[in-house]
Amino acid sequence: MSAAAFERQIRPIYDAIDTGSNKSALLACNKLLKKYPQNDLLKALKALALVRSQKVEESLVLCDEVLAAKPTDDSTLTAMMHVLRGLGRHADTVAMFEEAFKRQPLNEDLGMQTFFANIRTGNWKAGQQLATKLNKQFHEDRYVYWGVMCAVLQANDPSTPANMREILFKLAHRLLQTAWGPLESNADRLHLYLSLLHELRLSDEARTLLESEQGKAICSRSLACDELRRDIWKLNGWLKEEGKTAEKRISNKDRNWLEFLSVLDVTFSSVASGEPSDSAKEECVQHVSKTRELLTKVAEEDGLKDRSALLALLELEKRARIHGLSTGSSRLLDLMQQYFSQFGDKAASLLDLQRSINVQKLLRHNLQESELTLELEAGRALQLVQQYIEALQLGKDLPKTELQPADDLVVLAGQIFVSMYKLSGDEAHLHSAIVVLEFASKKSPQSYLIHLSLVRIYRLLGAAQPALEHYRLLNVKQVQNDTLSHFSLSRASNFSLAATGDLTYESECLESSQIYMSNSQEVKKGNIQRPKQAANVRQTADFIVRAFSAEKYSQIPDFVIFEDRLDNSLQRDLVKIEHVRMRVTHEPINSDLVDLELVELKFIFDRLHYDNRDFDILRNYQPRVQPSFNDQTTLLGKQPGLGWLWIFLKIYIKAFQHASDLDDTVEEKLLIGDRPKQSNDPENKLPLQERLAMRKPQELAELTEDELAFLNYATDLADWLGPYHDHTRPPPSAVLAEAAKQTELKTGHALKGLELPTDNGDANGHAKKPEDTPPVREPPASLITFFQHMQARFKELVEAKRPPHELLHVATLTQEALILFTVETLRFKNATVVKVHKLGALVQSFKGIRVEAISILKDMSSQLLIISESEGTANKRKAFVDGCKSLQVTSEINHDYILDVAKKVTDARKKIVMSQYGDSNPYYGNTGGGGGYLTGGSPFGSSSGSPGGASRRALAQSLRPLSIMQVHKATQAHTDADWMIDNTEIGQVTIVGRVITIQTQTTNSVYWVDDGTGRVEARFWSDSTGQEGESFEGITEGSYVRVTGTLKTYGNKRYINTVHIRPIKDWHEHELWFHIAEIMAITLTFDRGPVRDIIYPSAPAGSSVNQNTAAGQGHAASAYTAQPNPVVADERWANLPPVQLSIVTYMSQQPQQDEGIHVSAIARAVGADVNAISDALEKLMDEGHIFTTMDEMHFTLAV
């Protein structure tokens, strides 16, 4: 077959991959592979589709096959480059291109691609050697400069030894001396040469080069080279010569601001360092006079055409005042008036003048401590609010995209209210700040200062949702996620409602981390058997490659620094830790989670970190005798930093190490992709266990008192259980054997590169070890003491009426301690492990700790419930409004407006306090589910052990009739979550409607369907289900169809991914009306519960069972709900107390499920007191009426 014909056949595969239709791409690849089973390009494309479908294990087999074939054609190499990048196997990418270049050494394009592969991985040494080889073979000057650039980058790499750096710089210098020619005109090549001379301090050679006609010509047209020239001149003290050159250029109409700065630098050079003498000051005064004459003359000549000279006069006067050399007290004011009169109509004038004057800010900055009383501060705040209201008239006609001229006044007022809160501790002042700033945010929607101030104040009040809303209004994009996300995500786990199923904050963590991902198609986590790090950002590497291609050498160092700082961002890993802390509260604690997080956290522990967070963007207008506004609004008075990160990394790495069967040997065998580069910190050379045990004062200083107690608890827990984990952990050979078995079952291929043990009898890892089991020790008293201390601490905060964020901090750490206990004891849930190693006594000691912890958490939950009930009351809102009466200075800030703000704040506080643990009770939330156990002792678990596995499989097989309006109302917590309608999960959906348009494409057909409530796109992929062509007969524009499929989104567009579509022929008689009736019936069923024909036991007097329900109703159950268990008339229930009877009655009415019924569902149905339900469940278990299933939070009837 010709190449053109084959190209036509594979074109749909490329189109499908480009559009994200990976399933269609796989089908097309399989079809062509039947014809061409040995085609490497098809295998590579299929591997790429598998990687982007998250089917990592299957792609590995194809990937290894293609690499073994050693391809050399460009199409296969390009496809494999994307596959290997998705898998994080960058070293294999380099090896693949190197092998291809060895086979075709005369192919210059292959040589360049091999060079670029090394550049993408930061392998500068190999890049320099390859560039030298390319220059010798193809005799092009650019390869010399490529080699020089690589040598410079290698010298600047932190991993390069100090003694090698000078050698590399000298090597690069020698190469450039031979390559540089008198006719060279490339500005970037000159910049590279000058930067090397600057580094080696070869000033004379640099001066000779710059003063040549060649150097002058290049510098005159290259700002980068000219800026480097100035740096060289300053470094060598040639300021006077630079000043003369700058004056000459200004006289020749050059209005580059750098020229004016050079003149100013020369003017003050005599007093710039140390304590200047009187003669130096006199000399400087003369220079100032001359410079003023020059700039005044230039300003008069330029008039309104250019503002540079007048702005330079302002800078001259400002520097003269700094050095005490100003001779006119009103000169600065006169210059500003002149500047404003000439350029006040330009937008830039505001920023130009802002640096020199802002009266209100200066007055506030200079306030003394005696002037900071509540009465005086209140007067200042109200005056500023009044001035702001009056100034709104100046900007009343401005569009919404513009800022109000007086925004700074309201920001100042907000900071004064915060100062009053710090002076008095009265939250009413924070309420006042919220009111005025919320009002201002409507007038200036684009003001980042107002939004950031609101974020900080809302978090102080414990109103997490409004804080997140204002952060999102900033419309943060790209790298701003790295510099600004700390405003909303610092200590985000304190405000997370993940345990209740609300994944808002967890989703925000993932969204803010997208900047660190290569793209949406990148593999973000490893598979069950082979955990892998999250894919690192590599887009910057592509920019570096483009810079090499275009010979933009001046840009490459900046790209490398940017990539390094982004890859090793402190905020990135702080968000990661917060995400882990949230994740364990709602996901089942199993080997998949533990193994994956362990590997990723160990990678983070080995990294060098850069703090890219921007705190200066939050302006500080507080008096200098007070802490800054940033410090005043920092939660708990401690800003998490590198020390905080190290402490929590040590806690979780230690816990996950104990719960995991992965050691270094197993991890190295099973890890997909390359390990990230380690930092050169000498501590990284120490053994991991020794590093985990370190406690540095600077790290502990970043912890709160409660976090320090949590650290001590985690340390004692790990030290107690560590020996038992080490003894019972299966050997690496057993873990690898199980991994190979699971992989072979899943993919049909053996795991590559593993030598399995010949005797596999102990592959389950439970064989007795030759050494004796460590003697069972009693649990440290400090474990229970910690929970008791946290209970006392919580009560102390409640009695002192501390803000909600302090209460949530203590409660969250207490819950986290219980979850950490669950992680540490996960291994001993397996009965086989306990029996073989005779650890029954150890397991028995767990119960006392768990019971005490749950009891304390229940008590905290009850207290939080009481607090939450007081938050949303009318009295609370009335107190809020009364405290802000003085702000009713305009018709817009009236009683109703303040009441709306009060409702927003109190509702947010009520939600975060009430819902912190799910239905206000950690015992009913996911402490048990998140801290639960899986069945089986496999090091990698299985899907059958997941508590949500059965329900998720049932959900995938369910079918819900919907209207199109309901389709658009469906919500999704995050991209991987299930779709929800009115808090009910949905799987597949079916709609009936009229076809408006049909668009037929190569790989799919798109139907726009309208049912009178809305329109939606139904996309049917060719060969997606094998639906026969005759099924489409009768589907025309205007006809009625039934569509079945699942909801999907692409970009911001929602559609139905159709698995079946058929025409409706009797729509006017039956099916359309039946569908409408179905929608109503099912919606009511989910809203009000199914109507069942069930015989209920009679409820005794005083019981909480609804009498109408108990009487039973003679209606058939819904076809869309599982049928309940019939109630068995058991005499053992006759004498049960009311609460126990209510529990067993409710449980008997529920559908049969292997996992049982979660305690939160029982609590909602029964509605009794928290402690009463807990006691009733325990008594029912003692008497044998019920028993636990997969964990201690799920129950089922014994009959």
Q: Is 554 exposed, middle or buried (0-12, 13-18, 19+ CB in 10 A)?
A: buried
1022 occurs within a structural domain: yes
904 occurs within a structural domain: no
Asked whether the predicted pLDDT for residue 1032 surpasses 90, the reply is: no
Query: In angstroms, rounded to a whole number, what is the distance separating the alpha carbons of residues 55 and 1055?
Result: 24
H or E segment at 392?
none
The mean pLDDT of 351-379, rounded to a whole number, is: 80
Strands 959-961 and 988-1000: parallel
Q: Which residues contact 504 (CB under 8 A, 6 or more apart)?
A: 465, 468, 497, 973
Asked whether the predicted pLDDT for residue 453 surpasses 90, the reply is: yes
Q: Which residues contact 1004 (CB under 8 A, 6 or more apart)?
A: 21, 24, 1019, 1020, 1021, 1022
Query: In angstroms, rounded to a whole number, what is the distance separating the alpha carbons of residues 867 and 341?
Result: 58
8 Å CB contact between 44 and 60 = no
**417-421, 528-532, 890-894 — which one is most confidently predicted on average?**
417-421
Asked whether the predicted pLDDT for residue 349 surpasses 80, the reply is: no
The mean pLDDT of 123-151, rounded to a whole number, is: 94
pLDDT of residue 753: 59
Do 459 and 597 belong together in one domain?
A: no
pLDDT digit string, tens, across residues 728-746: 988 888 878 877 777 776 6
Do 289 and 344 belong together in one domain?
A: yes
Closest CA relative to residue 961, chosen from 1109, 1129, 1084: 1084
Do 8 and 109 belong together in one domain?
A: yes
Query: In angstroms, rounded to a whole number, what is the distance separating the alpha carbons of residues 1170 and 1180?
Result: 16
pLDDT of residue 321: 87
Do 866 and 726 belong together in one domain?
A: yes
Q: Which two tokens stand for residue 805?
A: 């964020």
The mean pLDDT of 906-932, rounded to a whole number, is: 55
pLDDT of residue 97: 95
Q: Predicted confidence band at 1187 (pLDDT cuts at 50, 70, 90)?
A: confident
Query: In angstroms, rounded to a whole number, what is the distance separating the alpha carbons of residues 568 and 560?
Result: 12
283 occurs within a structural domain: yes
* Percentage of the chain lying above the pLDDT 90 cut: 42
What Cα–Cα distance (Å) separates residue 550 from each residue in 145, 181, 562? Answer: 12, 20, 19
Q: How many residues does the chain have?
A: 1199
pLDDT of residue 955: 55
8 Å CB contact between 928 and 893 = no
Query: In angstroms, rounded to a whole number, what is the distance separating the alpha carbons of residues 938 and 252?
Result: 80
Asked whether the predicted pLDDT for residue 792 surpasses 70, the reply is: yes
Residue 854 burial (CB count, 10 A):
19
pLDDT of residue 461: 93
CATH number at residue 1151: 1.10.10.10
pLDDT of residue 1093: 45
439 occurs within a structural domain: yes
Q: Where are the alpha helices (DSSP H) in 1063-1189?
A: 1072-1088, 1107-1111, 1138-1148, 1159-1166, 1170-1182
Residue 61 burial (CB count, 10 A):
18
8 Å CB contact between 1162 and 1173 = yes
Q: How many Cα neighbours within 13 Å face the side chain of 335?
A: 24
Do 975 and 1053 belong together in one domain?
A: yes
Q: Is 1173 exposed, middle or buried (0-12, 13-18, 19+ CB in 10 A)?
A: buried
Closest CA relative to residue 441, chosen from 411, 479, 484, 475: 411
Asked whether the predicted pLDDT for residue 950 surpasses 70, the reply is: no
Do 679 and 657 belong together in one domain?
A: yes
Last residue of a domain, one of 874, 907, 923: 874
Q: Predicted confidence band at 766 (pLDDT cuts at 50, 70, 90)?
A: low
Last residue of a domain, one of 406, 439, 473: 473
Least-confidence region, from 176-190, 823-837, 936-950: 936-950
207 occurs within a structural domain: no
Closest CA relative to residue 807, chosen from 815, 795, 819, 816: 795
Last residue of a domain, one of 357, 375, 405: 357
Q: Which two tokens stand for residue 358?
A: 């802002």
Do 778 and 802 belong together in one domain?
A: yes
Report the helix count and the strand count for the chain, using DSSP H and E: 54, 12
Do 339 and 414 belong together in one domain?
A: no
Least-confidence region, from 184-198, 860-874, 1100-1114, 1148-1162: 1100-1114
The mean pLDDT of 807-830, rounded to a whole number, is: 93
Q: Is the pTM above the cut of 0.85?
A: no
Do 784 and 689 belong together in one domain?
A: no
Query: In angstroms, rounded to a whole number, what is the distance separating the alpha carbons of residues 1050 and 1039?
Result: 27
The mean pLDDT of 935-946, rounded to a whole number, is: 31
Q: Is 354 exposed, middle or buried (0-12, 13-18, 19+ CB in 10 A)?
A: exposed
The mean pLDDT of 1171-1187, rounded to a whole number, is: 82
pLDDT of residue 1009: 93
CATH number at residue 80: 1.25.40.10
For residue 712, give the amino acid letter. N
pLDDT digit string, tens, across residues 1135-1150: 788 888 888 888 887 7
Number of domains in the chain: 7
What Cα–Cα distance (Å) separates residue 131 from each residue in 171, 197, 343, 492? Answer: 14, 21, 53, 48
For residue 852, give the amino acid letter. E
Asked whether the predicted pLDDT for residue 95 surpasses 90, the reply is: yes
pLDDT of residue 353: 60
pLDDT of residue 7: 87
Do 483 and 404 belong together in one domain?
A: no
pLDDT of residue 542: 87
Specify the residue for token string 């074939």: 69
pLDDT of residue 930: 36
317: which DSSP letter?
H
Q: Which two tokens stand for residue 509?
A: 């963590």
Residue range(s) defining the domain that contains residue 297: 251-357
pLDDT of residue 586: 82
8 Å CB contact between 906 and 870 = no
pLDDT of residue 525: 34
pLDDT digit string, tens, across residues 475-511: 888 888 899 999 999 999 999 887 776 788 888 888 8
Query: In angstroms, rounded to a whole number, what is the distance separating the alpha carbons of residues 518 and 524?
Result: 10
The mean pLDDT of 72-84, rounded to a whole number, is: 92
pLDDT of residue 1144: 87
Instruction: Note the maximum CA span of the chain.
Output: 110
Q: Measured on CA atoms in the order 152, 156, 158, 161, is the torsion positive or negative?
A: positive
pLDDT of residue 702: 94
- List b or e across 615-643, with b for residues whose CB sees 16 or more CB atoms inside 10 angstroms: eeebbbbbbeebebbbebbbbbebbbbbb
8 Å CB contact between 817 and 787 = yes
Do 5 and 63 belong together in one domain?
A: yes
Q: Which two tokens stand for residue 490?
A: 């610092």
pLDDT of residue 242: 84
The mean pLDDT of 19-46, rounded to a whole number, is: 91
Do 517 and 486 belong together in one domain?
A: yes
Mean of pLDDT over the chain:
82
Judged by DSSP in three states, 990 sits in strand
Q: Which two tokens stand for residue 34?
A: 């039947």
Judged by DSSP in three states, 787 sits in helix
Q: Is 879 exposed, middle or buried (0-12, 13-18, 19+ CB in 10 A)?
A: middle
Tell me the β-bridge partners of 971: 980
The mean pLDDT of 127-139, rounded to a whole number, is: 94
What Cα–Cα distance (Å) separates residue 742 from each residue in 57, 133, 599, 937, 938? Answer: 11, 46, 20, 14, 10
608 occurs within a structural domain: yes
pLDDT of residue 1090: 62
For residue 209, give the amino acid letter. L
Asked whether the predicted pLDDT for residue 119 surpasses 70, the reply is: yes
903 occurs within a structural domain: no
898 occurs within a structural domain: no
